[in-house]
Amino acid sequence: MIEARFSGQQGSFRLDADFTAPSQGVTALFGPSGCGKTTVLRCVAGLIRFEHGKLVIDGEVWQSENRFVPVHRRALGYVFQEASLFPHLSVRGNLEFGQRRVTARAHTIGFDDVVDLLGIDRLFDRPTAHLSGGERQRVAIGRALLSQPRLLLMDEPLSALDRTGREEILPYLERLNSALSIPVLYVSHDIGEIERLADTLVIMEHGTVRAAGPIAELLADPSLPMVRMPEPAAVLDGRVQDFDSEYGIAKVDVPGGTLLVAGNIGPPGTVRRLRIAASDVSLSREVVTDTTILNAVPVLIDSVEPLGDTQMTVLLKLGADGRGAPLLSRVSRLSWNRLCFQPGESVVAQIKAVVLAKA
């Protein structure tokens, strides 16, 4: 478990952030520019020390009222917006520098494993000036991992890349999350990255933590700002049941039901993250049979929030009993009033599209 609490003043900025996060998976710090995400990351690294602070990593105190472990003694890796590689060293030299930083800590992350996970073996002898933006970031991540960190910090590592560079590196970040047991604190203001990578979400506003918890719950919480975005969505993790090769459709079990997804997304047993946009979910009281929509599943209306004068955002729970994963539906106020839906009512969700959030 990661326990973090930092409060104090830095110039005109006031930070009062308090959250806990699991000691595995990706915890994303999300919010608008200037809300304090990077400041929290720098506090965790020991680069900033506020008047009041507490940081505990799996029971080991890195900061308290009476203790402050300096940055060079914190077993962490830090990946910045810019790769910041050593220009006088080759790719191999940069990676080996990460290894040389390790002193008494055991080498639990192997050189070959990192190279394979990040796909950088063919880059070994290149000068860093001859790398693309995505390649530079992969090398920077590899260097950070080879320092054998107990915690990996990533400060908007894709923000300096163009769209091609971001799409190039995202699959590697997903592989790291599934292959390594190192917890990651990941700063971003891009909701697409968050939906794809994060397991836990910490939402920040004006230097404070608005909410923290599993991403599936927070993305579908009507009281939080993501639901009011132009294109809100729910994410849920499902397990592939089987694949119909004749029609190219996979059957995926999710909490509270089963969904059909286009494409061969993996062998049976594979876990995949699915994304369902609120605008792709319509509601009815009965299953409509004469339709091209493949997914019509029972749901329970949990709550509803007005969005302006013309739309409603509806929080749903999969399953007629409402014990499954959360979904969102964006419907017109006219439709809502005509059908007289009510919270607590069991209805049918017609899902136009189910897509992979993770490759």
Write out the CATH class of domain 276-356: mainly beta
The pLDDT tens digits of the residues spanning 161-212 come to: 888 878 888 888 888 777 778 899 999 988 888 998 899 999 999 999 999 9
In this prediction, residue 102 carries a pLDDT of: 65
pLDDT tens-digit profile of 230-286? 788 999 999 999 999 999 999 999 999 999 999 999 999 999 999 999 999 999 998
Q: How many other C-beta atoms can be found within 10 angstroms of the C-beta atom of residue 292?
A: 5
pLDDT at residue number 5: 95
Q: How confident is the model at residue 147 (pLDDT cuts 50, 70, 90)?
A: confident
The confidence score (pLDDT) of residue 172 equals 81
CATH code: domain 2-219 is: 3.40.50.300
Instruction: Give me the mean pLDDT over the 49-78 stretch.
Output: 91
- The predicted structure's pLDDT at residue 138: 87
Give the start-to-end residue ranges of the domains of the chain: 2-219, 276-356
For 9, residues 6+ apart whose C-beta sits below 8 A from its C-beta are: 15, 50, 51
Q: How confident is the model at residue 123 (pLDDT cuts 50, 70, 90)?
A: confident
358 pLDDT tier (thresholds 50, 70, 90): low
| Residue pLDDT, tens place only, 5-15 | 999 998 889 99
pLDDT over 90 (residue 346): yes
